[in-house]
């Protein structure tokens, strides 16, 4: 994938924190998943700290399940500043949640990050790399992808293949592919043009971008951790404790 000049802006992020966290039970019985601690810091705290370190000045956090706890947790946050997109009346899924928050996100491209997306950096900050490779003329969305073979807590068959230019395609039902989505992307607001009202998945807009040849990927440098269950959380804690010590 050819490197492009550093993109202007990209100082805003959408943090997806509205999920039910069912696979993380019993830890999420009375705590929303974004506030589950991993190696002494909450998942959401780690995400917001990483965004701040990557040059993000403003974040929009959506809430649904036990949303009042998340609202309280970010109330005094200043780096990045945080606005709340309230979905407590209706859970909108990933795509619907971002679409609902577009008035808060502005008219420029923005990062989208799952609240449980954590990794150990490689030689360079991955958010800075994404900002540098982003090209709004060619792309509607760019996904940060990790190698399945070097990820912690992941044992699936992968999500995507990627060619030498960074264009990505989905795995079919019988294949094994090398890359898994890390939960981090850059999206242009036009990605959400003509989307449904109400709930829908990001997969809807990704599939449209794939068909248009405008969905790209960038390989993560470092070690990504899949925190989808208590077992995955324990594995991530072991890895992070060594780095944070």
Q: What's the rounded Cα separation, in Å, for the pair 92 and 57?
A: 25
DSSP output for 175-237: ---SEEEEEEEEE-GGGGTTPPSS---HHHHHHHHHHTT-EEEEE-SEEEE--SSHHHHHHHH
34-81 per-position pLDDT tens digit: 999 988 899 999 999 999 999 999 999 999 999 999 999 999 999 999
C-alpha dist (Å) from residue 46 to 50, 51, 70, 117, 118: 6, 9, 14, 9, 7
**Phi-psi bin for 113: left (phi > 0), alpha (psi -120 to 50), beta?**
beta
Dig out the tokens for 179 from the structure: 């890359």
158-213 per-position pLDDT tens digit: 889 999 999 999 998 888 999 999 999 999 999 999 999 999 999 999 999 999 99
pLDDT at residue number 187: 98
**Domains of the chain, CATH where assigned:** 12-244 (3.90.550.10)
189-199 per-position pLDDT tens digit: 999 999 999 99
Q: What's the rounded Cα separation, in Å, for the pair 102 and 51?
A: 19
- Which run of H or E residues covers position 6? none
Dig out the tokens for 126 from the structure: 């991955």
3 state SS of 145? strand
Which residues have C-beta within 8 Å of that of residue 127, sequence separation ≥ 6? Answer: 50, 51, 53, 54, 55, 56, 111, 184
Rounded mean pLDDT of the chain? 91
126-150 per-position pLDDT tens digit: 999 999 999 999 999 999 999 998 8
> What's the predicted TM-score (pTM) here?
0.92
pLDDT at residue number 244: 57
Q: What's the rounded Cα separation, in Å, for the pair 3 and 115?
A: 28
Listed residue (153, 135, 147) closest to 225, CA to CA: 153
């Amino acid at each position: 994938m050819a490197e492009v000049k550093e993109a202007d802006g990209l100082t805003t992020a959408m943090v997806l924190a509205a999920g039910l966290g069912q696979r993380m039970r019993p830890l999420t019985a009375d705590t929303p998943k974004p506030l589950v601690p991993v190696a002494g810091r909450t998942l959401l705290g780690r995400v917001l700290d990483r965004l701040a370190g990557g040059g993000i000045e403003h974040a929009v956090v959506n809430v649904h399940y036990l949303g009042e706890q998340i609202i309280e947790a970010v109330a005094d946050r200043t780096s990045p500043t945080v606005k709340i997109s309230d979905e407590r009346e209706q859970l909108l899924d990933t795509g619907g949640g971002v679409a609902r928050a577009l008035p808060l996100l502005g008219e420029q491209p923005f990062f989208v990050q799952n609240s449980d997306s954590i990794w150990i950096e490689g030689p360079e900050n991955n958010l800075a790399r994404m900002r540098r490779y982003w090209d709004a003329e060619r792309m509607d969305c760019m996904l940060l992808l990790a190698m399945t073979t070097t990820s912690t807590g992941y044992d699936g068959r992968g999500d995507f293949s990627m060619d030498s230019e960074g264009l990505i395609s989905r795995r079919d039902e019988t294949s094994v592919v090398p890359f898994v989505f890390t939960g981090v992307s850059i999206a242009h607001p036009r990605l959400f043009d003509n989307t449904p009202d109400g709930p829908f998945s990001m997969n809807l807009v990704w599939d449209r971008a794939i068909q248009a040849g405008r969905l790209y990927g960038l390989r993560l440098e470092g070690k990504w951790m899949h925190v989808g269950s208590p077992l995955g959380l324990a594995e991530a804690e072991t890895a992070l404790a060594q780095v944070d010590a």
